[in-house]
Structure 1
Amino acid sequence: MTTVETNAAASYQRFMPADHPVQYLAPDGTDVESAARYARTSDDRLLEMYRSMVHGRRFDQQATALTKQGRLAVYPSARGQEACQIAAALCLGPQDWMFPTYRDSMALAARGVNQVELLGMLAGYWHCGYDPKQYHVAPQCTPLATQLLHATGFAYAEAKQGRDTVALAFCGDGATSEGDFHEALNFAAVFRAPVIFLVQNNGFAISVPLARQSAAPSLAHKGVGYGIGSEQVDGNDPIAMMSVMDEAVNYVRAERGPVIVEAHTYRMDAHTNADDATRYRKADEVEGWLARDPLSRLDAYLGGAGLLTDELRTEITVSADADAAELRAGMNVEQSVDPEDLFRFVYSTPTPALLDQREQIAAEIAAGELS
């Protein structure tokens, strides 16, 4: 090979993900032999991660229950994706920003977002119940992939102003079929925006399986064509997730360009409480993934290493239950809503059409047609 060909090959390899998802823990929580180059995270951070994962799952359970009580219009459970979301939240610095989807509530809770405020959108009383600037968390995005463009533009602007900010953009496998996904990756690569694209590949875009979405060797390989650092990881392996995400943050913060990380995971529950997952996936498939539960895996590892005692496990569980009780109580408080808010924050100068709509609603309320 010529020197040019050798350099091109080396550059190409630099962007290639591993042949198989990075893994450090077997499903039973025991160590596996791994050729991965990533430094394993410390036991102290794994304990912190375990605590956050227990709290995250308890939050998810409570939010699911709130839909049955009529307190939430809908809730998209992320049970089974705790390792992906918690690792993402814990790897960031306080100056960094998250750009989440509707399913990333556990990551927001781990970031410190007030849980009652977090559920404001799903309860239907506010567009975004929390202050994004307070937590450095953008509003949860329901349309697929649009938040990737927001994250990329934000990251680019922060870099232009000389700020040490990393933007972490969440998405699912379904979002990689959207045009916004490719536009975001291309812009981020060309302008070296400090953004991490975390693809939580849970196997389904609602009911559409991955095989009907992509023929690529992995979704991480999609970054190679754009010249983006790419990796795939066992998303149910907490050690692997934390190790890969730590490296991704360091890579991006060192101004080496954007990164895409594909986390192979699984959505244990239905798409939302309004979905019947039995129509498109079989029970034995779900059972197979239940055996790879990320929380059980980390529990077994920490217990086997003598780092998690029965007393500490109970303490963490009691703490998570207390948080759930506080959330339940907060969601049972009736919220005061002002119909004017539907129009107040759309434009700084309202359009004629918006003014007409506001007057129509005001007239219907005055006439007692709406309450």
Structure 2
Amino acid sequence: MVDIVDTNKKALDFDNQIAAQDDTFPMLSVLAADGAIVDETAVKRAELDDDDLINIMKRMLLSRQLDIRSTKLAKQGRFGFFAPTAGQEASQMASSYAFNDDDWLMPGYRDIPQIIVKGWPIWKAILWSRGHVLGNVFTTADDKPVNSWMPQIIIGAQYVEAAGIALGLKKRQKDAVVYAYTGDGGTSQGDFYEGINFAGAYQANAVFFVQNNGYAISTPRRLQTAAKHLAAKGWAAGIPSLVVDGNDPIAMYLAAKEARTWATSGKGPVLIEAITDRLEPHSTAGDDPLRYRTQDDIDAWWQKEPLIRMRKYITTKGIWDQEKEDAYIAEVNTLIDEQIKIADNVPKQKISDFVKNTLEVPSYAMSEQIKRFESEGK
């Protein structure tokens, strides 16, 4: 028989409810900071062979080089808006390795690398940063569709977009999911709640990632919300939610793989909170992280970044070495050089182009404007 008095006592024990949250969301961890495996069972469950491990490492190196080169281009005035990704290679590139070309990616503005590994050419990413219309054409180099939407500038809005597409995939009985990324700041937005609630209510095919990188621009995570874990917000929508070491590539892949399997089986979405760190400024648009955090804190996180632990792990396994890494980095930089040249040689947009691209069918007034601008060579 249920003890009503004891049940009521527990229901009113608010202190216990707060304390219990720490035990409710243990962090999934497979690869320690020194590259050692801490859970062999999880490694087997991930089912990653040597080629997979090398591919994930290459993805992360690609992301790091894109970050380095994009930052340099931005400082030269040759790049538009850019949000650095250093430190988030595991939460982005290892997690995205669990998805395939049929899955739809709904990215935020910091998620350019995930679109590129789906086949979107780097030169289009450069044009997107510059505001060129061709930067919003999501096709491969040979004009095949890339299942991705444009990087969302509105914080958290990609979650609403993801929910709608996820429901469409479910209704069409597709063996595919939508996977969407936002930052810790995104979980404070209304679109975040609307997206996970809608997807949860309809058990839609979606995997939601929260890259808890410590700061929403300059606001530290601790000041954004009283929630002890951002993953707890997924429970409010009735969906499975977990916390993962976001600097652990194997843990991130395993979480994404298991979440995709769950979502495609008709059980609904999953929310994954990745604990990582934004090692560089929020963007190249004048942000100075030393105004809101210390250099010692940044230096400490650099010692825990994902490339270090993955490099140690696969080097110990005997499938990676510095020579292979240097060769791949050189290959990536050659590719980036070629892509920059393509982007630089694309004709600049004219005023008439902007008017033409505003509506599918221009109004009478717009048609007149187009004619006038074109006659002036603008």
TM-score, scaled to structure 1: 0.88
Aligned partner of 1:343 among 346, 355, 360 = 355
Aligned partner of 1:54 among 61, 71, 84 = 61
Give the SS at the match of 2:30: coil
In structure 2, what is the equivalent of residue 214 of structure 1? 225
Give the SS at the match of 1:249: helix
In 2: Cα distance, 1:226 partner to 1:37 partner: 30
In structure 2, what is the equivalent of residue 320 of structure 1? 332
* 5+ residue gaps, structure 2: 8-21
Aligned partner of 1:21 among 24, 27, 32 = 27
Aligned partner of 1:88 among 95, 102, 106 = 95
Aligned partner of 1:305 among 317, 321, 329 = 317
Q: CA RMSD in A?
A: 2.5
Aligned partner of 1:146 among 157, 175, 178 = 157
Using the TM superposition, give the Cα deviation of residue 358 of structure 1 relative to its aligned residue in structure 2, in angstroms: 6.8
If asked which structure has higher relative contact order (CA below 8 Å, sep 6+), I would say: 1
In structure 2, what is the equivalent of residue 31 of structure 1? 37
Per-residue Cα deviation, 1:184-223 (whole angstroms, up to 9, x for no partner): 1111111111011111110111001111111112111111
Larger mean Cα displacement after TM superposition, 111-120 or 337-346 = 337-346
Using the TM superposition, give the Cα deviation of residue 336 of structure 1 relative to its aligned residue in structure 2, in angstroms: 3.3
Aligned partner of 1:267 among 257, 275, 278 = 278
Shift in alpha-carbon separation, 1:41–1:235, aligned structure 2, 3 A? farther
Per-residue Cα deviation, 1:227-270 (whole angstroms, up to 9, x for no partner): 10111101110111111111111111111111100111111110
In 1: Cα distance, 2:180 partner to 2:128 partner: 19
Using the TM superposition, give the Cα deviation of residue 63 of structure 1 relative to its aligned residue in structure 2, in angstroms: 1.1
Using the TM superposition, give the Cα deviation of residue 367 of structure 1 relative to its aligned residue in structure 2, in angstroms: 6.7
Matched letter for residue 354 of structure 2: L
Give the SS at the match of 2:45: coil
In 2: Cα distance, 1:135 partner to 1:223 partner: 28
Using the TM superposition, give the Cα deviation of residue 364 of structure 1 relative to its aligned residue in structure 2, in angstroms: 6.8
Q: Are 1:65 and 2:72 matched, yes or no?
A: yes
Aligned partner of 2:46 among 26, 40, 43 = 40
Per-residue Cα deviation, 1:3-57 (whole angstroms, up to 9, x for no partner): xx9xxxxxxxxxx996332111121212225886982341321111001111111
Give the SS at the match of 1:263: strand
Aligned partner of 1:289 among 280, 284, 301 = 301
* 5+ residue gaps, structure 1: 6-15
Matched letter for residue 196 of structure 1: V
Shift in alpha-carbon separation, 1:302–1:38, aligned structure 2, 3 A? closer
Contact 2:25 2:242 in 1 (8 A): no
* Identical counterparts, % of pairs: 32
In 2: Cα distance, 1:196 partner to 1:94 partner: 15
Q: Are 1:238 and 2:249 matched, yes or no?
A: yes
Shift in alpha-carbon separation, 1:36–1:50, aligned structure 2, 3 A? closer
In structure 2, what is the equivalent of residue 170 of structure 1? 181
Give the SS at the match of 2:326: helix
Contact 1:57 1:106 in 2 (8 A): no
Give the SS at the match of 1:138: coil
Matched letter for residue 323 of structure 1: L
In structure 2, what is the equivalent of residue 180 of structure 1? 191
In structure 1, what is the equivalent of residue 17 of structure 2? none
Contact 1:231 1:260 in 2 (8 A): yes
Using the TM superposition, give the Cα deviation of residue 360 of structure 1 relative to its aligned residue in structure 2, in angstroms: 5.6
In 1: Cα distance, 2:120 partner to 2:136 partner: 10
Shift in alpha-carbon separation, 1:64–1:166, aligned structure 2, 3 A? same
Contact 2:352 2:373 in 1 (8 A): no
Matched letter for residue 39 of structure 1: R
Contact 2:351 2:373 in 1 (8 A): no
Aligned residues: 354
